[in-house]
A and B are shown apart, each in its own frame.
Chain A
Amino acid sequence: DAGVTQSPTHLIKTRGQQVTLRCSPKSGHDTVSWYQQALGQGPQFIFQYYEEEERQRGNFPDRFSGHQFPNYSSELNVNALLLGDSALYLCASSLAGGGAANQPQHFGDGTRLSIL
């Protein structure tokens, strides 16, 4: 039973570029959340997708956008990259209904994004 998979594992970009990160949820899960984890910090919630729509959004600018596909996989897009966007980007999946408290979010190993 495959868990949450993310690609790529590492990525190097320069300022001003655009990046797309990908996530496949754990089998049976239908909800995908994205988190940004800066070095030495805890993860910060970016947004969550359910039924191909953004269900909740954290305090991130519009440069951060996402998408969920019919197979529940998801993409995170970041435009006009800044040095401060360098971080580990984590994807988490869960099953809607009953809340994450009963269906805890399962995390992937993340994509390490470095901005030069």
Chain B
Amino acid sequence: AQSVTQLDSQVPVFEEAPVELRCNYSSSVSVYLFWYVQYPNQGLQLLLKYLSGSTLVESINGFEAEFNKSQTSFHLRKPSVHISDTAEYFCAVELAKQAGTALIFGKGTTLSVSS
């Protein structure tokens, strides 16, 4: 069975500092990898995804994530965070053979950015 582990439940950071949110997954078959962001009282928004090809994927708002197959990780990074990045971040996987069906989520990491 597939599972996702987000290694940090809370990450406090100061504005303009770099941040890394860690995600490890467990799967014996090929998976697609996603990061979603959830702002208070809202649903989830797709931040970025890894399907195949280049192991480094980027989002439009400065986040990037790197797929590391040997370490089964998909850590999310941003070189300089803003107050507006404060939110809950979820890592998720999807079976490549069953694409379009269930997403399996981690428990989430709360990113708190302060000035």
Contact = CB atoms under 8 A, between A and B. Distances in A.
Contact of B102 (A4, A48, A103, A110): A48
Contacts, number: 77
Interface stretch (A13-21, A66-74, A79-87, A93-101): A93-101
Interface residues of A, number: 32
Interface of A: 4, 31, 33, 35, 40-45, 48, 55-56, 58, 90, 92, 94, 96-110
Contacts of A40: 107-108
Interface of B: 4, 6, 32, 34, 36, 41-46, 49, 51, 90, 92, 94, 96, 98-108
A101 B51 contact: yes
B43 A55 contact: no
A101 B32 contact: yes
